[in-house]
Amino acid sequence: MTTTEETRSEADERTLVDRRSCLKAAASGVALALTGASSAAAAEEDYDVIEVPAGETHTITLGDDDTLENTLIDISARNAKFQISARGSGWEVRNLGIRGNWDETTKAEPFIVSGDGVVDNYYFADGATGDTYPNGPTGIYVANDHSGTIEINNVNIQDLPDNAIYGSSPGDPPEHSLGAGGGGDVIVTNSYAADCVSSSFRVGTDGSRVENCVSVGSDCGFWGFYNAPKVVDCDFSDSEIGDIRVGDGQWQDDATPRLENVRYETEVIHSGSIDGSSAGSPQRTSPEAVEGVPLSAEEAAAGGGSDGADPSPDDSSGDDGEGSDETEPEEHLLAFVTEPDAQLAGYEFSADGAVEFADAPYESPSGGRIEGGTYEAEDFVEEADDGTTRAGGVTGGGYGDAFTVVGPITSIDVDQPDAMWIELDGEELSVEEVLEATGADESSR
C-alpha cells in the first residue's frame, strides 16, 4: 500500500490517539491505556486507527496488488475527510470502517475504484451533513474507465446525498461527457444501503450484478442505468422515486435489468424495460438482516459483521426469557464547546436520568480543556424527586464543559449558538440529533 499527500508528518501521526476509544472508556469508568497511532493498532484492538485532524484530508492510493485492511478512519473532527483511490489489478480493501459524520457539503467521490479488485466489509454509514444531490459524498464511485471486474461485498452505506454505490459509469455511451466507459463489471453482494439520494445500487453493464442486497428509503433501491445488469434475491423498499429504476432521461440509452427473486413495490422506467417482476413484498429492511454486513465502523475494521438475523420491531426479550423489553439506559458524554472568542456562553439541558460533571478525554479544536464543574458559581447539576435532572453552566474562550448522562436527554438550550456547539460522544450534533440519538420521545421535547 502506498500513501500520498498525508496531512501530518509521520512523527505527528504516530502520536494520534483513538478519540472514540477514550470516550468509550470514560463513559464506562474503565481506564484504557492507549498506545495507538494513525498507522499503528490501538491497544486491545485488531485494527489500525487513522484520526484525521479538522479541516484536513487523509489520502490513500492503492495500485497493483496493494492491500488496505483492518483500518478505521475517524473523520469526526470538523471538515475532516478521506480520499481513497484503488486502481489497477489485484488490489484489495478489506475491513475498513469510516467513523464520524461527513460534514463538508461539496460534491465528493472519496472512494474511487477501477480495474480488478475487491472491496469487502466496508462501513460508511454515520451519514453526511448534505441532504440534497449532489451536496456531499458518494459511497463508492466506479470510474468511467473501469474495464475489469470489481467485487463489492458486505458494505453498509447510509444517509449520503449521492449514490451509495455509483457503478454505472463503465457503461457510459460515447456521447457521454466523460466519453465511452470501459465496460467493466461491478458485482455487489450481501450489502445494505439506506437513505441515499439518487440510488443505493446503480450499475450499467451486462456483466454487472446486485445479489442478496437490501435498500431502504433511498431515491431508488436499484438503478439499472444502461444495458442488462442482473438483480438476484434482493429487497428494495420505501424508495422516494422507485424501488427499481430503469434507464436515464438524459442519454436515452435503453436498459433492461434482469430480475430473479427480487421483492419490491414501485418502479420507474425512463428508457428500456424490466425483464421480470416483483416476487412479493420486501421482507428485509435492516442491515442486521444481511449476513456479514458490519453494523459499526469499529466492527468493520475488526472484520466483524451481522449474523443475518433480522430483529423484529415487535419482538423483545429480556434476561428472564419472558419477553421483557426493559433495557439498561445508555450512558453518553455530552459536551458544550466554545469558539476562542466566546465569553460567558451559557447553556442548560434536562435528562431523564443521572447527570454528573465529567472531564472529556480530548481537547477542543482551540486546545482548551472540556471539563464540567470548573465554574462553581454557574455550573450546576440538580436532580428532581422523579429521577429527572436539570444541569447547565457557563464557559468560553475555546474551552468547554462536559457531563456524563445516563438516559435520554430531553431538552437543550444554548444562549450563544454562534459561539458554542454541542458534542455527543465526541461528535458535533444539532439539538434535535442529540435528543434523537439518546432516545428522547416526542412527548418530552
Per-domain residue ranges of the chain? 10-301, 331-444
Q: What's residue 133's pLDDT?
A: 80
Torsion 120-112-259-289 (CA) sign: positive
Of 62-66, 126-130, 187-191, 383-387, the least confident: 383-387
Q: How do residues 198-221 score in pLDDT, each as one tens digit?
A: 899 999 999 999 999 999 999 999
CA distances from 109 to 115, 139, 161, 326 (A): 17, 7, 11, 42
Hey, which residues does 235 pair with through a beta bridge?
214, 263
Cα dihedral: 251, 256, 259, 263 (round 10): 40
Contacts of residue 55, defined as CB under 8 A and 6 or more positions apart, other chains included, come to 77, 78, 79, 80
CA distances from 328 to 33, 65, 324, 331, 406 (A): 26, 47, 12, 9, 9
> 4 or 103: whose pLDDT is higher?
103
Residue 143 identity = A
**Average pLDDT, rounded, for the chain:** 86
Q: How far is CA 374 from the centre of its chain?
A: 35
Distance in angstroms (rounded) separating the CA atoms of residues 131 and 374: 38
Q: What's residue 357's pLDDT?
A: 95
Residue 106 identity = T
Q: What's residue 441's pLDDT?
A: 59
Q: Which residues of 21-60 are buried (b: 16+ CB within 10 A; e: fewer)?
A: bbbbebbeeeebebebbbeebbeebebbbbbbbeebbbbb
**pTM strictly above 0.95:** no
CA atoms within 13 A on the CB side of 412: 24
Q: How do residues 328-380 score in pLDDT, each as one tens digit?
A: 678 899 999 999 999 999 999 999 999 999 999 889 998 999 999 999 899 99
